[in-house]
């Protein structure tokens, strides 16, 4: 049972969530989990000007995902930062190359889930995940969110990401806030939840 965690992360926040989601998925017996990233579309000099080169260097060892890998997975957890309430351009461009998978029905009946990040508390996390679901539904995937059995999303003790739609992180207006313990716990829970559902779907 193969679980693919495929993400884009400019400053490393979604990368850390994706790592936690992969960790959660690995807790499920028989789960073979692969972490990979979508291709970068911005030139190196642009990334340097945006101050993202350090975070990009940290991810250089993470393999770049291919469309073929999506088709071979039994479940896919997608990770993207929000861009004005939608997925980032890098993820959109990658998904726009999956037409052949759609023609083949390669993702029909497989579990699909989304994690995200934004700078601010109300920066479009939920709309990013919900709008992402449209693409997954066109591929015939079974949408998996973050159920309220993860009680961390109901905390009133701190500002925190995570909603029934999926785990998320609030990065801060300057991007300096790293994922909290609660946000990482949400991603782990979601990863395990997706893998359990995928195991049932493939039984």
Q: pLDDT tens-digit profile of 135-172?
A: 999 999 999 999 999 999 999 999 999 999 999 999 99
Residue-level pLDDT at 147: 98
- Predicted confidence (pLDDT) at residue 54 exceeds the cutoff of 90: no
Q: Contact 188/20 with Cβ under 8 angstroms?
A: yes
pTM reported for the whole predicted model: 0.96
Residue-level pLDDT at 157: 92
Q: Which two tokens stand for residue 169?
A: 């992180």
- Predicted confidence (pLDDT) at residue 52 exceeds the cutoff of 90: no
Going by the annotation, the residues of the binding site for FMN are 9-14, 82-84, 138
From 3.40.50.150, 3.20.20.100, 3.40.50.360, 3.40.30.10, which CATH number describes the 2-202 domain?
3.40.50.360
- Return phi, psi of residue 85, to 5°: 85, 5
- Alpha helix stretches (DSSP H) within 4-88: 13-26, 44-49, 53-58, 67-72
- Predicted confidence (pLDDT) at residue 175 exceeds the cutoff of 90: no
- Per the prediction, the chain carries an average pLDDT of 96
Going by the annotation, the residues of the binding site for substrate are 102
Q: Which two tokens stand for residue 158?
A: 């701190």
Q: How far apart are CA 178 and CA 84, in angstroms?
A: 20
* Residues belonging to the chain: 203
Other CB atoms within a 10 A radius of the CB of residue 10 amount to 21
DSSP 160: -
pLDDT in tens, 69-123: 999 999 999 999 999 999 999 999 999 999 999 999 999 999 999 999 999 999 9
What's the angle, vertex CA 145, arms to CA 11 and CA 38, rounded to 5?
Answer: 35
Going by the annotation, the residues of the binding site for NAD(+) are 11
Domain ranges of the chain: 2-202
Going by the annotation, the residues of the binding site are 9-14, 82-84, 102, 138
């Amino acid at each position: 049972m193969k679980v693919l965690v495929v993400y884009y992360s400019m400053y490393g926040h979604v990368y850390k969530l994706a790592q936690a989601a992969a960790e959660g998925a690995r807790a499920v017996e028989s789960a073979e989990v692969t972490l990979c990233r979508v291709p970068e579309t911005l030139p190196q000099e642009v990334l340097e000007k945006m101050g993202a080169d350090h975070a990009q260097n940290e991810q250089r060892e993470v393999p770049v995902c291919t469309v073929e890998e999506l088709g071979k997975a039994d479940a896919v957890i997608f990770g993207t930062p929000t861009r004005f309430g939608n997925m980032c351009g890098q993820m959109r461009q990658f998904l726009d190359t999956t037409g052949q998978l759609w023609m083949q029905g390669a993702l029909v009946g497989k579990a699909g889930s989304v994690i995200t990040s934004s700078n601010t508390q109300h920066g479009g996390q939920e709309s990013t995940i919900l709008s992402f679901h449209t693409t997954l539904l066109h591929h015939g995937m079974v949408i998996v969110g973050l159920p309220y059995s993860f009680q961390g999303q109901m905390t009133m003790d701190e500002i925190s990401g995570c909603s029934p739609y999926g785990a998320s992180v609030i990065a801060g207006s300057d991007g300096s806030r790293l994922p909290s313990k609660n946000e990482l716990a949400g991603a782990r829970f979601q990863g395990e939840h997706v893998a359990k559902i995928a195991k049932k779907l493939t039984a």
